[in-house]
Amino acid sequence: MSKSKIKRGASAAAAAAHINLSGVSFARLLNLGVIVRQAREVGYDLRVVRLARLNQLEALAAGRGGEDGGAALSVQRAKLAAAQASRAEFQNMQDQGQYVELSLMKRMLVSSFLVMREIALGTAGKISDSLQAFTPLDRAEIYKVIHGEIIVMLESLSDPNGLAAQAADKALMSKKAPR
């Protein structure tokens, strides 16, 4: 009997050329497990190599492949979903009237506080005369006491660590508290 040569598959170089890749790129596919590494004696079945490469390209196009296993796309999709959820929450707050632009709020508060300050500073002079009948102090002394108390009140309102900062801290803490 004559010994016939067993037909073996193509070499790695021939398989790489068959799917239009360099030897280095073909080796990377082997290392990633896209194409099953074959022994030199066996060689590569070109049909199997071609189908494996096509499957890998389809997975890449669908965002499921690549060296990171599609993790980068998953991360981007998660960021997009979070941004969309945040946008929807913001839109809901606006629709429900729970959102006011900070610059608008600041302008409104500044004008309101200026009016309240003027009213408060004028109060001591207005009521000093009427209180004079109920106390042995004269009008100037009554004015000094009331004016001093109003100044203390106004300074506590203007203190950065005062009422406004305490209210802001409470609001932040209520948002962070688990529900």
Range of the domain at 139: 102-174
Q: Over 50: is that where the pLDDT of 137 sits?
A: yes
* Residue 129 domain-assigned (yes or no): yes
- Answer yes or no: is 2 within a domain: no
What are the tens digits of pLDDT across the range 9-29?
A: 899 999 999 999 999 999 999
Confirm whether 5 is domain-assigned.
no
Q: pLDDT at position 136, please?
A: 86
Burial of residue 80 (CB within 10 Å: 0-12, 13-18, 19+) is: exposed
Inform me whether the pLDDT recorded for 150 exceeds 80. Answer: yes
Phi, psi of 171 (to 5 degrees): -65, -40
The whole-number pLDDT of residue 13 equals 93
The region of weakest confidence among 50-59, 86-95, 134-143, 157-166 is 157-166
pLDDT tens figures, 112-129: 888 888 998 888 888 888
121 and 62, same domain (yes or no): no
Task: Give the chain's domain count.
Answer: 2
The arithmetic mean of pLDDT across residues 25-34, rounded, is 92
Four-residue CA torsion sign, 154, 160, 166, 170: positive
**pLDDT, tens digit, for every residue of 55-96?**
988 888 876 666 665 667 778 888 999 999 999 998 898 888
Residue 93 lies in a domain: no
Helix (H, G, I), strand (E, B) or coil at 40: coil
My answer on whether 63 and 106 are in the same domain is no
pLDDT category at 1 given cuts 50, 70, 90 is very low
Does a structural domain hold residue 1?
no
- Give domain status of residue 75, yes or no: no
Q: Report residue 8 as tokens.
A: 């073996």
| Residue 139 within any structural domain of the chain | yes
In a domain, 149, yes or no: yes
The whole-number pLDDT of residue 133 equals 81
| 113 and 56 within one domain | no
